[in-house]
């Protein structure tokens, strides 16, 4: 056979795709680590720069606060002011306020001065007594002075305050409060607008002083950290990571305020978007180039494989033409192996067809075996007997019953192996009707069939053979002794066994089953074949029923046979409900 070469080979497309993928993976394995290394380096460098800027901002705030503290320490050392306060004279209060006004004018950015000493409350003249009293009685002032701070800064509603205890810097006792113009502080704290996308300044109570676009979600996460076990880390420069971004923290040693900046991860990745786009375009171009360059090479390799595949796919029974491939490699070995296999397969298929013919004969035999020739023979004798007795009505009854049984049993053309419960019950009743004329013995037949199960489908011809066994082998056996006055009976019950199964029970008080003989029947049923007597139309036994149930329903069925006390047999079959 001549080698073919097409451009639509599935294996060729797969090989081409896998080659391109392998090339892509090799590039990614090389490029991704380098990209990650560069990204990590850039991230560290950016964080270092931001940390330096944050630290410088905190140091600038410290420098500004240090100047204020240095000037604040000079005020109580003013001899004129100290002498006037220590005198305690009411007339000197105006002089103290004037002196405070002069001192506030000397200090840069000092608006007003309040001295809350044991001698009284003094303030510069630009501040009223009520304003001074409101400040000294405010919640924030009361709370901070109650914590025994030596000094503290406080920022509230655009006003900056500095408080220091006098007994640590002079002979006076009490506190001195400076009202400072906040412009310098504000310019330092807001100077990070162009550097940090989100930042916040927190005071000693971790309340926001200045917030630069700091989101609520970031502040909520920060608040949990400030209240957790790691809150002490915020007293120094601190970097920590969350699921959404990176937090940078710096602390002003003088004001004890905290500067916290939040940088989302996407801010770091923005610079890599152009690089990722270039990388993606390069990969697409490389994949296209690889596909174009590798296409002829790949198809030259797989052309013999395609030829072999096509021959195997189109192989049919009777095809004896061998495939000719001469490549000198494993593909040629496969072609020789396939030629040998095709020859052997043709032989096996011939044998299989013969086996299928035998199987069809076996199935036909199974259908025919559903009719008991002895039963038909006895029924015809019964009809002859009734004819001689001129019992025409009885002949009609027996004949109709036989016709009903034959009509149901000889439906060979029907492929379905199932029939309704109602049909199975009707066939069994017709059989019992015939037996009543064949044998004069009176057997009480009791039927208990649930109406809801009459439409359910069950395997054909399993009920009548069991009833037949009960009559013939249970009561008509020559070895069976008298029932000692007990009425012979057969009870047939068909009832639900759960929501998805049903139960068929046939019980009699006949001679009873020989369990050893039954076990032998079961053993024979495991080797059901054409040579077995059950397929030759002699009779249908329990082994035949057991074999057919297992063949049709596998593990979904169960057949139980047990003796009754003191004599008799009980046959129970569990079947699935089939609508």
DSSP H or E segment with residue 344: helix 330-368
8 vs 82, more confident = 82
Q: How confident is the model at residue 533 (pLDDT cuts 50, 70, 90)?
A: very low
Mean residue pLDDT across the chain: 80
Tens-digit pLDDT profile for residues 334-393: 778 878 887 788 778 878 877 776 565 455 445 445 555 666 777 787 788 778 877 788
417 vs 260, more confident = 260
Question: For 229-323, where are the alpha helices, taking DSSP H only?
Answer: 265-269, 273-313
Q: What is the spatial distance between Cα 572 and Cα 553, in angstroms, rounded to a whole number? A: 16
Q: What is the spatial distance between Cα 311 and Cα 530, in angstroms, rounded to a whole number? A: 39
Position 201 scores a pLDDT of 92
Both tokens of residue 370? 């559903």
Tens-digit pLDDT profile for residues 194-237: 888 899 999 888 889 888 888 888 888 888 888 877 777 777 88
Question: For 389-482, where are the alpha helices, taking DSSP H only?
Answer: 392-409, 421-438, 463-472
Q: What is the spatial distance between Cα 332 and Cα 342, in angstroms, rounded to a whole number? A: 15
Position 357 scores a pLDDT of 61
Q: How confident is the model at residue 566 (pLDDT cuts 50, 70, 90)?
A: confident
Beta strands in 62-165 (DSSP E): 110-117, 120-123, 151-156, 159-165
CB count, 10 Å around CB of 139?
A: 7
Indicate the pairing of strand 444-449 with strand 489-496.
parallel
Is the pLDDT at 18 greater than 80? The verdict is no
Whether the CA torsion 476, 477, 479, 484 is positive or negative: it is negative
Is the pLDDT at 93 greater than 80? The verdict is yes
Indicate the pairing of strand 258-264 with strand 457-459.
unpaired
Q: What is the spatial distance between Cα 124 and Cα 100, in angstroms, rounded to a whole number? A: 5
Q: How confident is the model at residue 542 (pLDDT cuts 50, 70, 90)?
A: confident
What pTM value is reported for the model?
0.47
Phi, psi of 211 (to 5 degrees): -125, 120
Q: What is the spatial distance between Cα 575 and Cα 191, in angstroms, rounded to a whole number? A: 86
Position 538 scores a pLDDT of 38
Percent of all residues in the chain with a pLDDT value above 70, rounded to a whole number: 85
Q: How confident is the model at residue 539 (pLDDT cuts 50, 70, 90)?
A: very low
Percent of all residues in the chain with a pLDDT value above 90, rounded to a whole number: 15
* CA dist list (Å): 287 to 20, 21, 171, 464, 531: 6, 8, 85, 73, 68
Position 469 scores a pLDDT of 84
Burial 242-281 (b: 16+ CB within 10 A, else e): eeebbbbbbbbebbbbbbbbbbbeeebeeeeeeeeeebee
Is the pLDDT at 11 greater than 50? The verdict is yes
Q: How confident is the model at residue 541 (pLDDT cuts 50, 70, 90)?
A: low
The answer to whether 552 touches 459, Cβ cutoff 8 Å, is yes
Position 2 scores a pLDDT of 37
479 vs 50, more confident = 50
> What number is the average pLDDT over the span 447-472?
88
Whether the CA torsion 84, 90, 95, 98 is positive or negative: it is positive
The answer to whether 96 touches 85, Cβ cutoff 8 Å, is yes
- Strand-pair partners of 504: 494, 573
Q: Which of 176-185, 322-331, 436-445, 474-483 has the lowest mean pLDDT?
A: 474-483
CB count, 10 Å around CB of 549?
A: 20
Position 440 scores a pLDDT of 64
The answer to whether 470 touches 491, Cβ cutoff 8 Å, is no
- Closest C-alpha to 236, from 269, 258, 255: 258
Position 368 scores a pLDDT of 43
Q: Is 304 helix (H, G, I), strand (E, B) or coil?
A: helix
293 vs 357, more confident = 293
Q: Which residue has the tokens 């950016």?
A: 46
Is the pLDDT at 530 greater than 50? The verdict is no
Q: Is 219 helix (H, G, I), strand (E, B) or coil?
A: helix
Q: If you ran DSSP here, which 8-state letter would residue 486 be given?
A: P
Is the pLDDT at 73 greater than 50? The verdict is yes
Q: How confident is the model at residue 9 (pLDDT cuts 50, 70, 90)?
A: low
Q: How confident is the model at residue 478 (pLDDT cuts 50, 70, 90)?
A: low
Domains in the chain (CATH in brackets) are 1-196+266-314 (3.30.450.20), 197-265 (3.30.450.30), 316-353 (no CATH), 369-576 (3.30.565.10)
Position 330 scores a pLDDT of 74
Q: How confident is the model at residue 59 (pLDDT cuts 50, 70, 90)?
A: very high
Q: What is the spatial distance between Cα 551 and Cα 528, in angstroms, rounded to a whole number? A: 11
């Amino acid at each position: 056979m001549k080698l073919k070469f097409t451009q639509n080979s599935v294996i060729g497309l797969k090989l081409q795709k896998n080659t391109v993928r392998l090339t892509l993976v090799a590039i990614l394995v090389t490029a991704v680590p380098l990209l990650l290394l560069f990204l990590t380096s850039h991230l560290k460098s950016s964080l270092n720069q931001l940390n330096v800027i944050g630290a410088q901002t905190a140091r600038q705030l410290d420098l500004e606060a240090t100047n204020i503290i240095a000037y604040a320490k000079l005020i109580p050392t003013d001899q004129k002011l100290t002498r006037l306060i220590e005198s305690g004279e009411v007339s000197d209060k105006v002089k103290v306020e004037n002196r405070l006004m002069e001192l506030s004018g000397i200090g840069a950015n000092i608006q007003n001065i309040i001295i809350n000493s044991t001698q009284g409350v003094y303030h510069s003249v630009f501040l009223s007594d009520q304003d001074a009293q409101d400040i000294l009685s405010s919640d924030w002032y009361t709370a901070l002075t109650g914590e025994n701070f030596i000094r503290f800064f406080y920022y509230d509603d655009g006003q900056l305050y500095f408080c220091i205890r006098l007994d640590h810097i002079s002979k006076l006792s009490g506190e001195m409060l400076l009202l400072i113009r906040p412009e310098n502080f504000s310019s330092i704290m807001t100077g990070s607008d162009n550097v940090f996308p989100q930042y916040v300044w927190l005071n000693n109570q971790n309340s926001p002083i200045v917030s630069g676009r700091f989101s609520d979600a970031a502040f909520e996460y920060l608040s949990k950290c400030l209240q957790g076990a790691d809150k002490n880390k915020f007293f120094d420069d601190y970097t920590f990571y969350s699921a959404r971004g990176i937090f940078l923290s710096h602390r002003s040693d003088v004001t004890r305020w905290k500067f916290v900046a939040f940088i989302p991860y996407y801010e770091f990745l923005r610079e890599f978007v152009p690089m990722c786009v270039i990388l993606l375009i390069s990969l697409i171009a490389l994949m296209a180039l690889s596909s174009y360059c590798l296409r002829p090479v790949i198809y030259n390799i797989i052309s013999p494989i395609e030829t072999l595949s096509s021959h195997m796919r189109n192989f049919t029974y009777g095809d004896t033409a061998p495939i000719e491939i001469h490549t000198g490699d494993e593909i040629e070995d496969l072609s020789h192996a396939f030629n040998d296999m095709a020859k052997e397969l043709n032989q096996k298929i011939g044998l299989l067809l013969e086996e299928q013919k035998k199987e069809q004969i076996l199935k036909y035999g199974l259908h025919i075996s559903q009719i008991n020739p002895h039963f038909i023979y006895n029924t015809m004798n019964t009809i002859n007997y009734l004819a001689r007795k001129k019992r025409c009505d009885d002949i009609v009854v027996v004949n109709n019953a036989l016709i009903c049984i034959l009509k149901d049993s000889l439906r060979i053309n029907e492929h379905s192996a199932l029939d309704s419960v109602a049909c199975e019950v009707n066939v069994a009743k017709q059989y019992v009707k015939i037996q009543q004329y064949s044998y004069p013995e009176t057997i009480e037949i009791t039927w208990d069939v649930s109406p809801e199960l009459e439409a359910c489908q069950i395997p054909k011809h399993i009920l009548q053979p069991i009833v037949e066994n009960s009559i013939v082998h249970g009561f008509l056996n020559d070895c069976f002794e008298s029932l000692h006055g007990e009425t012979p009976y057969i009870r047939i019950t068909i009832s639900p066994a759960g929501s998805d199964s049903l139960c068929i029970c046939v019980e009699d008080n006949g001679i009873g089953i020989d369990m050893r003989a039954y076990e032998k029947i079961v053993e024979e049923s495991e080797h059901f074949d054409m040579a077995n007597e059950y397929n030759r139309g002699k009779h249908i036994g329990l082994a035949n029923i057991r074999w057919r149930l297992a063949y049709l329903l596998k593990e979904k069925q169960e057949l139980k046979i047990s003796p009754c006390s003191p004599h008799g047999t009980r046959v129970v079959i569990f079947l699935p409900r089939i609508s």
